[in-house]
Structure 1
């Protein structure tokens, strides 16, 4: 970077000094030297317009190849299952071949300018030397003046060549700068207005209220949530049920402030969360999702991700509460076992229990469980039921579940359909209403009964 910035400026200073001395020696020779400047302008104005977009295309292509390769290796099981090895290899080969051709085109473009200058500079020097020799024969110039002029002419041409070479490297870096500026123009997660409130975890109770909340995703006009209103007193469990696409996960995303409502407001302890400090608010949260994400590290590092200062015993207690301690103890290095990228060395149920242990250790005030027990077998689910009760105690929890047996004891059940709350109440109240929730319970009960009959038969 230092050379890229230093060389052009030193060349410009050297160029100005050389021109000044050449004027003092013979202004006509100086004019001849200046004839090279239009050539610099024409060649660079012509080629820079072509080279800079090519550099941008190369960077975009490389990003596309990296993303595609990462995606392929992440889904290697699917690739092998559908025998798409050759197809993915062919796609990678085609993309890298195109990238190589783009890089070759840029290389030739830069070499053309270098060739032009390798021809122009000797021609200019020859022309000025002939003119200076003719001036000596005419008696208008001495041999010493000509030699001095040629020395300074060399000092004039060298910085011009440096500026020409620097211009090409500048285009490569400016293409990178364009991509950085595009990233900086992306919308921020929250507004830049200063927060008017900062939550204190110890003092926060966790009472959540939705007041006529509506939401549509950026770039769309279809509302995913319509005028949703309800109150969740501190420490209560709110269960969200409904068909896929009803808006359950979107509602939880609004609670987590991954998005902001397009209408209405969400308050915690009476404070509009859109006016609070985001980092402080997120420290109140704990999330366990169906698609568990674990980091490439040890078991202990993943459990303590929400509390880096947690002791080893606290990590073990959280794992015991999540029914994960037993299988962790059987791993080669126990809590120091490396689990691989996204926990690839663990089963789905083991990954989910680690995520639950991570949430238990974080001790959140607001808890979001999105199908948190969906990947657990019946035995594992039974083992952590008491732990889940312990996890939910004293916390405001939002639980998304398709297995209604897991939410029967929720303080409030909200039935969503097309982004609206169509039923709300406890399990017993909703079953007595003979509405959508009752039909869902009957469908699952009948399905379970039919399966049992089939097994007996």
Structure 2
């Protein structure tokens, strides 16, 4: 029985995830598709339960009056059928309604419904552009996904379940009170009106506080997660105290919202208790007066007082349910701002998959500025022929990594055209485009999974033998066999930690190279691919890279000029333009920028000129590529060289994590 209800709502619908609307109602409606019939059934069951429970109060009042009208000897004979009907209601109907309602809510909706939302939001966010993830903490995005999905569930369920139950119950109570004497209904009507006014005054204020609290919680959690994620940097610079102060500032901000919320709660509680006491006094006094006047029976007074006691208990429950509803509404509104954003880089409607590339790459009049005034790539023309090995040289901020990011379509160029084999990269599916390009970067990021899963990420369908051969070629097989983790997994099954933190830089790089070797894409991008390796391992891997590059179009970015001197052609970039190009020997003989860089090398690295020589090379200034995160962060995803770093003040956006709760039942 449980399993049947648990499988009524698919938590992972196959329909494509689309951009959600930005209004509250439309957003909730968007993520309710497919669950409507079960939500409607829940509302109908709540209605039936409310009607049945109110009818029990009518039964109790009638029972008092009928007991007074009969003797024990005549009561059962006269009222047996009526008592039997009530017994069926109490023993069969109400338990069956509650069972069915509980199965629909707990087995069908509470687990599957928010999971559908998480699934659809996650699939949609995976389509977002690189800029979206560079502007937000990963923890903040994940928090918004989790707390928004729960908040949508809470909002919809409370409106349809709790809201329906309360409206039907209060309406039934008014009708039942008025059935004896219309005057007995007046205290209930007055209480409902005053209670509604109380909620209308305080709940919007609670919603505003809840929205501020959700944002403050995100900020607090984001700062804490940022410290943990960068714990090596914190310890290297001995900044534990600084991080404590940084987290406490956010905690103080969160605590301030909690205090504001609790002040409202106390005020509402006191006001609600006062209303309840007034209702009890008014109903009891009015009932006694009407009974004294012969207008109502003793049973009617019993029903009225019982309803008051029931509503006193319900008032607290209703208040907290409505408070939670408004709190969740605030959370949903907060999440909409992060989730309901269109991708800045999206596939064209009906975009086809890219065919297997020959590797003919063209940049024609391409300009890109990260949406800012300064130039990063400016009117650039470049033709890389199929099978050509191109080396890209330039000082930090010259635009080298941005060039690769545009080719990978992490960003859309602002002007011009980028094509592979004559096909505009913006006209094909992004995934199929990137499947044609293998990338090895300087700052390699590995998934917090096994070594096997990380290598097979290059080609999930590869065999075990192909995976091991790729690891051998990358000079990684031997050290992989010696790996182990805290769970006792060894070798290729050992987990590497978040971003590969359990491995050395050289080990991470070799696994990344094995991953790209296995991918075997026709276009290869090397962005300081061997800079994290020692000289002996680098020399060994260079031989395999030379084999890997055969028959491929290669774009290699390097500060260590010796690693790209043997390329077919070199280009020198300066302020987003190509200022020199040609083979190594010709560029050295020309005596230009490349020759100066070559002469200034010390140990194979570019010796950047002093600050006065160029603003772009000044360590105290922002480079010519203004969106540093696209360089520094892009390097982790296959297109950047870590040429700049955004200031800590810009990058420290908040994130958070919270969980919603759903009432386990009626009071």
Fold shared per TM-score above 0.5:
yes
CA distance in 2, matches of 1:349, 1:305: 19
Say whether the 8 Å CA contact 1:14–1:159 is kept in structure 2. Answer: no
Q: Is the 8 A contact 1:12 1:159 kept in 2?
A: no
Calculate the aligned-residue CA RMSD, in Å. 2.7
| 1:43 counterpart (191, 198, 204) | 198
How far apart are residue 151 of structure 1 and its match? 4.5
Q: Which residue of 2 aligns with 1:408?
A: 565
Counterpart of 1:225 in structure 2 is 377
**Closer/same/farther in 2, CA of residues 83 and 161 from structure 1, 3 Å limit:** closer
Written as runs of structure 1 = structure 2, the 5 A alignment for 1:82-231 is 82-96=237-251, 98-152=253-307, 162-191=317-346, 193-200=348-355, 203-218=356-371, 220-231=372-383
The within-5 A match list for 1:228-267 is 228-267=380-419
Deviation, 1:68, is 2.0
**For the residues of structure 2 that align with 1:226 and 1:407, how far apart are their CA atoms?**
24
Equivalent in the alignment of 1:431: 588
The alpha-carbon distance between structure 1 residues 414 and 347, as it changes in their structure 2 partners (threshold 3 A), is same
- Cα distance, 1:212 vs. partner? 0.8
- 5+ residue gaps, structure 2, are 1-109, 111-153, 485-489, 608-667
Residue 74 (structure 1) aligns with: 229
Deviation by residue 1:387-426 (Cα, 9 ceiling, x = unmatched): 1111222222221101111112222322111111112222
Task: Please say if residues 303 and 315 of structure 1, whose CA atoms lie closer than 8 Å, have aligned partners that are also in contact.
Answer: yes
Q: 1:195/1:243 Cα in 2 relative to 1: closer, same or farther (>3 Å)?
A: farther
Structure 1 stretch displaced more, 107-116 or 8-17: 107-116
Supply the distance in 1 between the matched residues of 2:339 and 2:504 (Cα, whole angstroms): 39
Q: Quote the residue 2:495 is aligned against.
A: 338
Q: Is the 8 A contact 2:180 2:296 kept in 1?
A: no
Q: Secondary structure at the match of 2:322?
A: helix
1:98 positional shift:
4.6
Partner of 2:508: 351
Matched, 1:292 2:461: no
Distance 2:520 2:230 in 1: 33
Q: Determine the C-alpha separation between the residues in 2 that align with 1:330 and 1:120.
A: 72
Map residues 438-457 of structure 1 onto 2, 5 A cutoff.
Answer: 438-444=595-601
- Partner of 2:274, secondary structure, is helix
1:313-324 aligned within 5 A: 313-324=465-476
Deviation at 1:88, TM superposition (A): 2.1
1:240-265: CA deviation from partner (whole Å, max 9, x where unpaired): 11110011111110111110101111
Q: Does 1:361 align with 2:518?
A: yes
Task: Name the stretch that deviates more: 172-181 or 334-343.
Answer: 334-343
Residue number in structure 2 paired with 1:302: 454
The reply on whether 1:394 has 2:551 as its aligned counterpart is yes
Aligned position for 1:31: 186
- 1:152/1:298 CA distance change after superposition, 3 Å: closer
Cα 1:447–1:84, aligned 2, differ >3 Å: closer, same or farther? closer
- Structure (1 or 2) with the greater strand fraction: 1
Q: Secondary structure at the match of 2:393?
A: strand
- For the Cα contact (< 8 Å) 2:364–2:416, is it kept in 1? yes
Name the counterpart of 2:624. none
Work out whether residues 349 and 376 of structure 1, in 8 Å CA contact, stay in contact via their aligned partners in 2. yes
Contact 1:292–1:355 under 8 Å retained in 2: yes
Task: Judge conservation of contact 1:25–1:149 (CA < 8 Å) in 2.
Answer: no
Deviation at 1:385, TM superposition (A): 1.3
Q: 1:283 aligns with which of 435, 453, 462?
A: 435
> Against the structure 1 CA distance between its residues 73 and 446, is the aligned structure 2 distance closer, same or farther, given a 3 Å change threshold?
closer
SS in 2 for 1:355: helix
**Contact 1:7 1:162 (8 Å CA) reproduced:** no
TM-score, normalised by the number of residues in structure 2: 0.62
Equivalent pair of 2:393/2:570 in contact (CA under 8 Å): yes
Secondary structure of the corresponding residue to residue 231 of structure 1: strand
Using the alignment, how far apart are the partners of 2:353 and 2:330 within structure 1?
A: 40
2:479 maps to 1:327: yes
Cα distance in 2 between the residues matched to 1:193 and 1:366: 23
Q: Which has the higher contact order (CA 8 A, sep 6+)?
A: 2
Asked if the contact 2:368–2:376 (Cα under 8 Å) also holds between the matched residues in 1, the reply is yes
TM norm structure 1:
0.89
CA 191–13 in structure 1, closer or farther in 2 if over 3 Å, else same = same
How far is the alpha carbon of 1:120 from its aligned partner?
0.9
Deviations 1:110-133 (A, max 9, x none): 343233222211211211221232
User: Cα deviations across residues 259-312 of structure 1 (Å, max 9, x unaligned)?
Assistant: 010111111111111111112222222211111111223322222222222222
Distance 2:181 2:589 in 1: 106
Work out whether residues 367 and 380 of structure 2, in 8 Å CA contact, stay in contact via their aligned partners in 1. yes
Aligned length: 446
